[in-house]
Structure 1
Amino acid sequence: MTLRSENEGRAGEELTRHLLGTGVLTLEWADAFRAVPRSLFLPDLFWAYDMATGRSEPVVRSEDAAGWERAAYEDIPVVTQWDDGEHVGTAPGSRGTSSASMPSVVASMLRDLDVRDGMRVLEVGTGTGWNAGLLAHRLGNENVVSVEIDRAVAAGASDALTRAGLSPRLVEGDGREGWPAGAPYDRVIVTAGVRTIPTRWLEQTRPGGSILAPWGTHYSNQDALVRLTVGEDGRGVGHFLRMVEFMKLRDQRLDWNRFVEHVKEFPGDADASRTSRTLADLGDRYETPYFVIGLCVPDCAHVVNAADSGEEGDAKAWFFDFLSQSWAAVVFGPGAPDATVYQSGPRRLWDEVEQALSWWISRGRPAVDRFGLTVDQDGTTRPWLDTPVGVLPSFA
């Protein structure tokens, strides 16, 4: 049976009303949000993300119970594990590897999952267990399977679900494999960012069922939520819904060490040119051009080294090829009318990026929800614009 304080009950009700008022939470899910409190699934120590500063701040229940409770019910993401569990102490670690998503993100994804009574759901990425608990309350324990790769995270989720009086099937394993013993599923929901859709998810989804997943390219850490409907032929097809950003499946993280030999010295013997494009033209991580460039320039990673805050230094946009040692860097000087471009290797990565950006502009700057994805039975993936026949160009 769920045990919580009067204050927690009031905070949970306020959060539910807030999410209903913004439209991200539907009435069908309101009872679950009231009955399955987020606080029950959070550890005594977590790191609350400050939306203003972009920093994660430790919150310790034994030291600040009121602050812990307040953060538990705020509409913010919280990190619950750093560095695959190897991190110790209260200072943030190097890489967040498990978290509790913003309640508004959880609510909107459950809304978009579009479940009905009696449906079976596979969740990839149990995390704290809160999402699995909400699903189990709505659909019944017997209809929910959740897979988590990290043993300690899975154990914490199991304990939290038990405290909540819920018992969906928890599987400790690699989420890429799904859980074939429980297939077929009407819905698959993925709570980690992916760069490829595993064929096992397609195989385990009932024809007419759907897969909801944050998908993106290694061009950036950005994801877009895609909803794929699986057809009789086993193919998944569907539109992107909106931009999101999730921690990535462990085997699909980008290893930046692979690029350490690309730039032996800067600029070295790289070809130099000029561009009138600005850093703003490339978009930021939640803007459509940032995402579209990744779709049209394959096997390319991008990062920006911004000028130090409050200084007038240069900003550099870097581009690295996965398959060769090609690289490009664009140096944007403060107030300069144009930027200096350096390109090295067989691929002219900046030229490809400019072509992708020009293509997007020539199509009227379509928003992300006009794009979609087709994933064949063998995992072949094709992004498109408007309809599956409008396959996007590749400028590689």
Structure 2
Amino acid sequence: MNVVGRATAAAASLTVLVVLAVLAADAVLVFPASAQAARRSAPPPDAGLALPAPTGRSLVGATTLDLLDRRRADPWRPAVRRELMVTLWYPAGARTRRLLAYTTPEVSAGVLGSMGVARSSWPGVLSAVRTHSYVDAPPAGSPGRRPLVLLSPGFGMPRSSLTALGEDLASRGYVVAGVDHTYEAAGVQFPDGRFAGCVPCSSTDPERFGKVIRGRREDLSFVLDRLTGAHPAWSGAGIIDSSRVGMAGHSIGGAAALATLQTDRRVRAGLDLDGTLLPPRHEVRRPFLLVGSDVHGMPGTDGSWEASWAELTGWKKWLRLAGAGHLTFTDWGLLAEGLGVRRQLPPDSAAEQYGTIGSARGLRITRAYVAAFFDAKLRGERAPLLTGPSRAYPEISFKVPR
């Protein structure tokens, strides 16, 4: 089953992603008054929802960008220009008074409704998930010294689902751009309150997989333009080294990483976290790392990695994380455990989405190997984790297709 199919099936059985059916909309909307009231409601008691602390040495700053591509029509709403929300995580020189909100109360309300807790006394609870990023903190680093990593989330999932990964990379010295692909996420909210639901989530068009990937490829190149061009959208962009750009994606975001690597020469290395691929039409000579669950085993139910392997002619590795589910590589495993969602699922569905490995352990391993890959391919550092099995992470095995 391809990535879009897997995400759609998950939306039917997995309460976290059922939000696709709840929030799917055919237009950008201003959120109704009931959700606006949620914004004004009193904070909930401490629910204990917090992301794991970053493992690097640097403080982490964060800012959000609203980017409008005036040259391109939106692929899902051709009457409007393509508009994207982006979160930047980066090494910071000092703390500020505020930590980054994990998501908006409006998006949280929709997610909680999809999880069967719509009667919660505080539907904005996910906006209170503790992050480790200081809003608009001063960037740290000499001009032109920080590598840049683009992050693309899974189909139907918002950019916030990769916050723990983004924060960790930033604490290790990277500038990280998490991209919301408008109309492809359960919800994207703009600063003026407009709210975009997911247009293709309920579609049965067999061509939507390719359309999503092609559109994301354009999105990511546009974001790269706006961060490294002559007039960057971020005031701190001077610390970025535009010659050292990488990209990682989860699920269909991983397929977008490979597609972008093929068409944008500025991207030097790519990484796929458990995403079905469209086999390349020509050889890909730049480094590419595959990290996946048993679905991508040998044998596995998804043969797209084996079909793509021969065309990856540069440095490449195929890693399997034993006991992983599709959402192990994101924040959602931890949050679902914290909210008690996983316990409400049938065992097979819980294993497919969250795996049998503990969510904290799975996320820790994911962050370690993603960092090792970019340390090696963007910084030229030694990365022992990529040379073979590790005693510290015995759950990782290296696959070598015939």
TM-score (norm 2): 0.32
Query: Which has the greater radius of gyration?
Result: 1
Bigger RCO of structures 1 and 2 (CA < 8 A, at least 6 apart):
2
TM-score (norm 1): 0.32
